[in-house]
Amino acid sequence: MIARLASIAVTLLLLSVIVFSLQQLLPGDPAVVLAGEDKSPETIAAIRALYGLDRPLPIQYLTWLGNLLHGDFGVSMRLNRSVAQLLAEKLPVTIQLATMALVVGIVVGVPAGILAAVYVDTAVDGATSVLSVIGMSIPNFWLGILFIMVFSVQLGWLPASGYVSPFEDLWGNLRAMIMPAIVLGSHVATVLMRHTRSAMIEVLNADYIRTARAKGVGSLSIILRHALRNALVPVVTLGALEFGQLLGGSVLTEFVFTVPGIGKLIVDSVFNRDYAVVQAVVLCSGALYIALNLLADLAQRFLDPRVAREAP
């Protein structure tokens, strides 16, 4: 575990270097953007000095890294607000959206994968395979626009865009988030469906399953008590990784439905050359992905003790 934590620290350090370096490759000068109509050399030089943009890049990186270690993510040059405050406002929105999308993916994908494995090479298996291919092929932004056209414009059941805090109006929050959650969760459902099917087929053909059937154990008990737990080991790992991708990959969905999460925040920040916000969002997304990967490994060890015994 100590070696794993050390590798995580090294990974985060390398990620910080990559994030800071790639940020410098963006075209344009943030000082010029902030100067607005008054683009005099004196104004631009004052802005660059104010935000430390006139210093050498290694000094800028070390200053930024030192502030990060003290919990200071900097100040947004565009909004003149603390980046930590922006993350505290936007990150819970994206986490809620990603969580709802993951729940949609699990509720739809895992049972469908189990049915496909139990009824392998039948019409049920074929139908789930077709749905899986369709779900993997449809872009999220196109599905989001289609949902808005049907459920908002034509039927008027759900709001087309916007966001309401669950602390202000829980029902309004769920109505605003259900469509983007389904759009994001549709891809997760197809991925979980395919992996659950493959894992269940492999487990159902194992020797101990045949032994249980020979002893007269019921089919439902075999599926739920014996096969499902072992089949869920790779699915749990995949689900954690998918959740990490949802946190960082909800940009288009948040843009289509005007959800004020970190996806929309980073798009606005890139266009406005807001370096501090872009660096903080990307670094936090990477750190969350690494943390979820660690949690997935711990869950895998809990579900399958053989993994813990084989680990060094």
d(CA 249, CA 260): 14
DSSP string, 223-289: IIIIIHHHHHHHHHHHHHHHHHHHHHS-HHHHHHHT--SHHHHHHHHHHTT-HHHHHHHHHHHHHHH
Q: Which of 50-64, 172-186, 195-209, 293-307 shows the lowest mean pLDDT across its residues?
A: 293-307
Q: What is the pLDDT of residues 31-85, one digit of tens each?
A: 666 666 666 777 777 777 777 777 777 887 888 788 888 777 877 777 778 888 8
Q: What is residue 304's predicted lDDT score, i.e. its pLDDT?
A: 62
Residue with tokens 């139908």: 127
Q: Identify which of 125, 292, 108 has the alpha carbon closest to the alpha carbon of residue 185.
A: 108
Q: What is the pLDDT of residues 126-138, one digit of tens each?
A: 888 888 888 778 8
Angle, to 10 degrees, between the axis of helix 228-248 and the axis of helix 83-118?
150
How many CB atoms neighbour CB 290 within 10 A? 17
> CATH topology for 83-310?
MetI-like fold (1.10.3720)
d(CA 276, CA 269): 9
Q: What is residue 218's predicted lDDT score, i.e. its pLDDT?
A: 60
Q: What is residue 282's predicted lDDT score, i.e. its pLDDT?
A: 82
Q: What is residue 90's predicted lDDT score, i.e. its pLDDT?
A: 86
Q: Which of 27-31, 78-82, 107-111, 121-125 shows the lowest mean pLDDT across its residues?
A: 27-31
pLDDT reading at 1 higher than 70: no
Q: What is residue 269's predicted lDDT score, i.e. its pLDDT?
A: 80
d(CA 134, CA 126): 12
Query: In the chain, where are the structural domains located?
Result: 2-69, 83-310
Mean pLDDT of the chain: 78
pLDDT reading at 307 higher than 60: no
Angle, to 10 degrees, between the axis of helix 170-204 and the axis of helix 123-137?
130
Q: Identify which of 235, 217, 198 has the alpha carbon closest to the alpha carbon of residue 102.
A: 235
Instruction: Give the mean model confidence (pLDDT) for residues 256-266.
Output: 82
